[in-house]
Amino acid sequence: MKHLNLLYLASCLTAGFCLMASTVALAQDENAAEFSANTELEEVTVTARKREENLQDVALSVSAMGQQEIQANFATDLRDLVYISPNLVLDDTNQGPGGVAAAYIRGIGVSEVEKNFDPAVGVVVDGVFRGTMTGSIVRAIDLERVEVLRGPQGTLFGRNTIGGVINLERSKPTMETSGKARGGYGNYETAVLDGIFNFGNGETFGVKLTGSYRDQGEGYFHNSTTGRKDGQSEYMAGGINLLFAPREGLEIEWTSLIERTDQDSSQLLNAGQPGQAFCDVYGWCSPSLSVPVSGDRYVVGQAFDNYTWPTESFPTNQTPDPQFDHFGLSPYDSTFDADTHQLEVRWDLNDDYRIDYIFGHWETEEKVITDWDAVQDLLFHTDRPAEYEQDTHELRLTYDAGGKLAYTVGAYYWDSEYEIRLRSLIAFFTPFDGFLLDLPQTTKQTSKSKALFFEGDYAFNERWTLTVGGRWTDDEKTSDQNNEGNPFTTLAYAEADWTEFTPKVALKWDLDDDSMAYALYSRGYRAGGFNGRVDSVETATTPYDPETVDNYELGYKSRFMNNRMQFNATLFYMDYKDKQEEIQEPSETSGTGQVTRVVNASNATIYGAELELMYLFENGLTLRANLGLLDASYDDFLVDQGTPGNPMISDFSDLDFRRAPETTASLSGEKQWELGSGSLLLHAGLRYLGSHEVDFANKPELHNSSQTLVDASISYFMGDWYFSAFGRNLTDEDGYQIGFDVAGLWSYASPRAPRTYGFEVGVSW
């Protein structure tokens, strides 16, 4: 009954909005002459289908934001811009340095720090897909366009985009002398300095230099053990972007970006409850379901033995193993280094054919020690140095002669590898009182993927267009576990491969010059793989299989009132098969008595509606609003949580999806007018997230109630200069971005950033 009610509500809302839009449009058409030609919404160009198209002409669910709106948000990173899309939740899980993204679209996503977990929502930067969620919370420096593609994008973007794609484009070299710089200062001792400088000969070559510095000298969290403000960070980046156009129709572009982040280790809260071991045995119990052990969501109690961990003494009665080697690491010296190198060739062979080639190299190196128990005792700490690198090649041929047929065909190759040298310190439930377990585990995994793809449009006439596409993908993965020195696991090597075809069919109907409707079917595919956390040869060598999503959509897009109002609506239904789940099971061969495995344990159904509205008032006020309605539920979810000799079937079908609120909504407005010798710009945005879970097990201590987030800015422009004041999360919402119940031992969590504000001054030339 709940499902029927939601579908009925979605249908009514969609019909109601369409009727309202049509009625207002008819009334407005009668008075169209009173609007001047330059008072209309800007047309937005997107590259959602690997070629430039008007947003309103694309037969898929996509939201977009241009450079002006991005700048008005004073965004630090991608999280400050996600309000443009309904049914999108993007959090930083605070489980490692550099930002570990938990990106969910329509309830589909991944919330893991381990790199054996492929993304389910693709983050694509300048045409290059990022293969891990670590480092995918992209900084907002020099962003020219943000696009959110909802639903599987298996044809043109390929594997690991079953939830959708966040497509980001940076500005290109202008080939002329120009630039801009900005500096700012905010609370928590946050200083920002960015600069972009362009030069060239105006015709055949251009150079763009970028530099960025952000220093947060005071963290958001008060450490009750040390008295320190934890969460400090320093980010530096420098880039060069070269553009060469040796002849008309040919452009060659090279980009190199070097990013360095130094920050404190992850700030986590212990949310332990009665019935969990750390509460019952060690006394670390939260005062209530909504309040962590520390008594406040911005107070942490983590301790690392006089800030260097570990040494000869510990802040508890545990005594280290005499053979234990010192790491010599500091919890205030976590690092994340990222290097990006990219080559793009754009060649117009003639008026009809175009070739695009993109090579991308992205590599990261990180080191971090983490106090997962989040209290003064040393119960569960880890050292997690890791390296990751990927190389991608994409070659596309596009044909568009302005006739009935247009298409894109291409080939794609992916090669990635990573290594993590995990070392766990465990001091609970050990055989001897005061004994510390030191468990090393080195994981090396590689991934190779090949794909051939096509997508074409055929216009039967001026009103009807058929789109057909498909992608063939072949994946190969290897896993090498080298746990020498760990008495609970042994050496293991395994490899596996999978092949998948992901089709797409869409039919678009142009109702008139200002509106269209479409029907769409698409399939998404997320690759299989190997567990990264293992306790035996079996768990190390047994792969989990791919998961798939079949997506069905009905959409409507329109512009009314002389292009003053834009209204889009989507109804969708998704069939989720062989869903990959992280399951905790008892283990006789691990140091903790538990092991986390990935298994294809469930099937699910997801459906809902998405409504988007933009309106430009006669006085220049622009409003953007959206509403997302979502129902995501398991059809079946049975798991054997026992041992081979004692099976125990558990039914998790009643669990709610993570980061899948039934309602998301946003409302933002922007108004600019002349004032004195310059102009004043006001921008404000409100985003609503319905109640939702961030933990797989739906633990009540990790549940998020509904949240309302408010951002605002005011800017004054005078000549080439601007002066601004801004604030984010003005309502000071403290919802959890991550929550994890660790095998019944304890629960940890981390909240979103509190209220922040600051001032900024900038100049362009």
What are the DSSP calls for 166-224, one per residue? EEEEEPPP-SSSEEEEEEEEETTTEEEEEEEEEEE-SSSEEEEEEEEEEEE-S-SEEET
Average pLDDT of the segment spanning 448-462: 97
pLDDT, tens digit, for every residue of 348-400? Answer: 999 999 999 999 999 999 999 899 999 988 888 888 899 999 999 999 999 99
For 335, the token pair is: 């690092």
Q: Do 102 and 123 contact (CB within 8 A), yes or no?
A: no
Average pLDDT of the segment spanning 72-93: 86
% pLDDT > 70, the chain: 88
Q: Do 582 and 605 contact (CB within 8 A), yes or no?
A: no
DSSP 8: H
pLDDT of residue 85: 94
- At 11, give phi and psi (nearest 5°): -65, -45
- State the Cα–Cα distance between residues 243 and 199, nearest whole angstrom: 11
- State the Cα–Cα distance between residues 81 and 76, nearest whole angstrom: 9
Residues facing residue 560 across a β-bridge: 565
Q: How far is CA 660 from CA 135, 289, 301, 608, 638, in A?
A: 23, 21, 30, 11, 21
pLDDT, tens digit, for every residue of 209-264? Answer: 999 999 999 999 999 988 899 999 999 999 999 999 999 999 999 999 999 999 99
Confidence at 75, pLDDT banded by 50, 70, 90: confident
pLDDT, tens digit, for every residue of 480-512? Answer: 988 665 655 557 899 999 999 999 999 999 999
Q: Do 205 and 177 contact (CB within 8 A), yes or no?
A: no
- Amino acid, single-letter form, for residue 568: N
3-state secondary structure (DSSP) of residue 731 = coil
Q: Do 576 and 606 contact (CB within 8 A), yes or no?
A: yes
Confidence at 95, pLDDT banded by 50, 70, 90: confident
Average pLDDT of the segment spanning 520-536: 89
What is the CATH code for 2-234+245-764?
A: 2.40.170.20
What are the DSSP calls for 605-664, one per residue? EEEEEEEEEEEE-TTS-EEEEEEEEEEEEEEEEEEE-SBTTB--EEE-TTPPPBT--SEE
Domain regions of the chain by residue span: 2-234+245-764
Residues facing residue 274 across a β-bridge: none
